[in-house]
Structure 1
Amino acid sequence: MTELNIGLILPDVLGTYGDDGNALVLRQRARMRGISAEIQTVKLNEPVPSSLDVYCIGGGEDTAQILAAEHLIKDQGLVRAARAGRPILAICAGLQILGDSFRAGGRVVDGVGLIDATTVSLDTRAIGESQSVPTGAGITAELTEPLSGFENHMGSTLLGGDAQPLGKVTRGMGNCDTYNAADIAGDYKQKDAEGAVQGSVIATYMHGPVLARNPQLADLLLAQAMGIKLAELEPLEIESVARLRKERVK
């Protein structure tokens, strides 16, 4: 690979919470290893290239979510990228719009359909520090370190049969406050679930930006983008990142 192409998707409408920083983290961690990397920004009403190496989608408010979903459904570039196995990181509203449907603007809105999930409304806003233990589902099988971030959402995201949680919550709310009898029996697919993994999509409610707080997750995305195993990436020892991890991961 001569250059890593990182897609920053619709930051003009899904850039409310600083999640653009995830693309910056990927670029910097690649460059620190001597890998040439550039960010390609795709704004609303611009076509989404399906041949980029990795994609980042952030969070936004109701109107922004609706605009983003309508554009991505019409354009289909991100769908083609997912079908080709390109890694996609989706944060908060990004998680919701990549599902089958979500609630925004007082109505149910069709999602892109890359995650088998529906989002309705929480009874109480989920806001504050969030932490989870990775489930190792799908392409996240190599993740071993706890995940941390800051959640701020009113969405209750219920996962269907084709999606798996990214993590099991140890702090904070996670995806939802709803669960059924099967969950009580020990299946935490709804109860204690955080985020979602399906195909090449990794989604989470964690801001931070999440990749700044979770370098192993950032490196997993880089490895997936490069078609190699996580263990094949040269380790990076960054004192400030290690200090942040120590402060935030309890």
Structure 2
Amino acid sequence: MTAAGQTVDILQLYPGELGVTGDSGNVLAIATRLERAEASATVRHHRVGDPLPERPDIVVIGNGPLSAVRSVLDDARRLAPTLTDWVAAGIPLLAVGAGMELLGERILSPERETIAGLGIFPITTDRAGSRHAGYLVVESPVGPVVGFEDHRTVTTRGEGAVAFGRVTAGVTGTAGSEDGIRVANAIGTRVQGPVLPLNPVLTDFLIARALERRGIDWRAASAHGELDRLASEARAVILANIDHVFSTI
């Protein structure tokens, strides 16, 4: 059975508050990749105060400042049991930057205030670290992932927790360290870009995990050739400038 004719439901959480680093591009990358395979995507947005969403096929939550995390925190705690059940059921989820922090156990602010997160990811985040701003490469089980990071955070994983990958290149001080978190099919990462248009391998991972729940095998095809070429060219630019230091943004 192929993906043709299938409809995949994508849920983006808090696109206004946690979508400041081009995170809508991650949703668009999933939808476009499906459409090239003669499937389709429906995109739903959950905003503060909305009713609890119905179960989607894929969940995306993006990045933002700590003020944005605070602004959605009460609503997100209302969603926490539902999100926990979805992750346990194997629904694929992508959380970038602050979205990953929100799904973690707690955040320590620069003023040393402890903010309780949703407890879905076994991580804690300290937002008073040194600044990391530049290109990076993360080697992950789904393949190499390239992009950009800009943060002042230190992420600590709980005992036995699995990182998304290891930073293998970049000059921001994180090379050699681990990036993000993975729980079942839920991935948290610091890689921006946005990450999915730059990295079709990660987009394909999310789609494949969603469709395998229907007994459908997903893999890239000739219809994705142009998307893959554009991503490859963009990645080549990043890799050619991997040693560039960003002192200001």
Calculate the TM-score normalised by the size of structure 1.
0.83
Contact 2:198 2:232 in 1 (8 A): no
Q: Which residue of 1 aligns with 2:51?
A: 47
Q: CA deviation at 1:231?
A: 7.0
- Give the whole-Å Cα distance in 2 for the aligned partners of 1:205 and 1:48: 27
- Give the whole-Å Cα distance in 2 for the aligned partners of 1:105 and 1:48: 32
Contact 1:8 1:23 in 2 (8 A): yes
Tell me, which stretches of 5 or more residues in structure 2 are unaligned?
Answer: 241-249
SS of residue in 1 equivalent to 2:131: strand
Q: CA deviation at 1:84?
A: 2.2
- Give the whole-Å Cα distance in 2 for the aligned partners of 1:150 and 1:170: 13
- The count of corresponding residues between Structure 1 and Structure 2 is 229
Percent identity for Structure 1 against Structure 2: 27
Q: CA deviation at 1:93?
A: 0.2
Q: 2:83 aligns with which of 62, 78, 99?
A: 78
Q: CA deviation at 1:51?
A: 0.9
CA displacement 1:71-95 (0-9 Å, x = unmatched): 1112333223223221110000011
Q: Which amino acid aligns with 2:103?
A: L
Q: Which residue of 2 aligns with 1:233?
A: 219
Q: Which amino acid aligns with 2:157?
A: L
Contact 1:48 1:78 in 2 (8 A): no
Aligned pairs for 1:163-182 (under 5 A) are 163-172=161-170
2:80 is aligned with 1:92: no
Q: CA deviation at 1:199?
A: 2.0
- Give the whole-Å Cα distance in 2 for the aligned partners of 1:231 and 1:52: 19
Contact 2:204 2:220 in 1 (8 A): no
Shift of the 61–211 alpha-carbon distance from structure 1 to 2, 3 Å rule, reads: same
CA displacement 1:65-118 (0-9 Å, x = unmatched): 123232111233322322322111000001111110012373111111111111
CA displacement 1:152-207 (0-9 Å, x = unmatched): 11111101124211111112478x97xxxxxxxxxx9xx61011111221010111
The farther-off stretch of 115-124 and 68-77 is 68-77
- Give the whole-Å Cα distance in 2 for the aligned partners of 1:222 and 1:205: 20
- Give the whole-Å Cα distance in 2 for the aligned partners of 1:122 and 1:158: 13
Contact 1:13 1:44 in 2 (8 A): no
Q: CA deviation at 1:18?
A: 1.2
Shift of the 74–162 alpha-carbon distance from structure 1 to 2, 3 Å rule, reads: farther
Tell me, which stretches of 5 or more residues in structure 1 are unaligned?
Answer: 137-142, 178-187
Contact 1:6 1:54 in 2 (8 A): yes
SS of residue in 1 equivalent to 2:91: coil
Q: CA deviation at 1:31?
A: 0.5
Contact 1:50 1:81 in 2 (8 A): no
Q: CA deviation at 1:56?
A: 0.5
SS of residue in 2 equivalent to 1:4: strand
Shift of the 161–231 alpha-carbon distance from structure 1 to 2, 3 Å rule, reads: farther
Shift of the 48–31 alpha-carbon distance from structure 1 to 2, 3 Å rule, reads: farther
- Give the whole-Å Cα distance in 2 for the aligned partners of 1:8 and 1:216: 20
Contact 1:49 1:78 in 2 (8 A): no
Q: Which amino acid aligns with 2:84?
A: V
The farther-off stretch of 210-219 and 157-166 is 157-166
- Give the whole-Å Cα distance in 1 for the aligned partners of 2:15 and 2:218: 31
SS of residue in 2 equivalent to 1:47: coil
Q: Which amino acid aligns with 1:248?
A: I
Aligned pairs for 1:117-132 (under 5 A) are 117-132=123-138
SS of residue in 1 equivalent to 2:151: strand
SS of residue in 2 equivalent to 1:237: helix
Q: Which amino acid aligns with 2:189?
A: T
CA root-mean-square deviation: 2.4
Q: Which residue of 2 aligns with 1:246?
A: 236
